[in-house]
Amino acid sequence: MYGLIHRYLKDHIIDSAGEEVWRSIASELRISPAELISQEVYDDALTFELVEVASRRLGRSVDDCLAAFGRFWIIRVSQDTYRAVMDFTGRDLGTFLKNLDRMHLSVAAVMPKARLPSFTLIEQGSGHFLVQYRSERTGLEPFVGGLLQGLLEWFDLSGKVEHVDSKTNSAEFLITLS
């Protein structure tokens, strides 16, 4: 994955555990501070290793770490240069979810080696959204749950996100507003 992901992961670790913990995780993974360039592509193995080591050091499960990172990701991209992209994607949750693929396509224009996921808003009812996530990667479902939770907060909504179904390379999430 692009180094952008790892840089945000690093920020998340520093935010939740401090600079010292990050330094020791980086040294365990033999990452130098100069590494993790946003525009460079790193092997997915590094991404998963980073999450695995962070979960061990933070005493939390890998799934919890991925979910927390998903929420953090939404907060960070909306404070960053990507704020305009977030605004442009949709002013309400339903529109945003419908436009997610288009938004990722615009990301692919500047990061052509990205292997981006795909999202489909299968159903939108009064107070609920059923979303399908498709990816060639496996194991990132808790990250998606955290991202969707982060989106609820981004739109000033409260509710729950449930992972309701999984197939090979796809999963469904039900968002229920409270």
Interacting residue with ligand HEM among 54, 135, 171, 173 (CB under 6 A): 135
Q: Does 121 bind ligand HEM (CB under 6 A)?
A: no
- Determine if 157 is a binding residue for ligand HEM (CB under 6 A): no
Query: What is the x/- site pattern for ligand HEM, positions 60-79, by CB under 6 A?
Result: -----------------x--
d(CA 171, CA 131): 8
**Residue 24: CA count within 13 A, CB half-sphere:** 9
**Using CA atoms, how far apart are residues 41 and 147, in angstroms rounded to an integer?**
22
For residue 67, give Cα distances in angstroms to 14, 93, 171. 16, 19, 15
- The region of 11-19, 51-59, 146-154, 155-163 touching ligand HEM under the rule CB under 6 A is 146-154
> Which of 9-17, 22-30, 137-145, 162-170 is the region at the interface with ligand HEM (rule: CB under 6 A)?
137-145
Q: Does 1 help bind ligand HEM (rule: CB under 6 A)?
A: yes
Of 48, 82, 88, 155, the residue at the interface with ligand HEM (CB under 6 A) is 82
Terminal C-alpha separation, the chain: 35
Among 14, 21, 85, 157, binds ligand HEM (CB under 6 A): 85
**Dihedral angle over CA of 142, 96, 2, 64, nearest 10:** -20
State the Cα–Cα distance between residues 108 and 177, nearest whole angstrom.
31
Q: Which residues bind ligand HEM (CB under 6 A)?
A: 1-2, 4-5, 77, 82, 85-86, 100, 104, 107, 111, 114-117, 135, 137, 140, 143-144, 147-148, 151
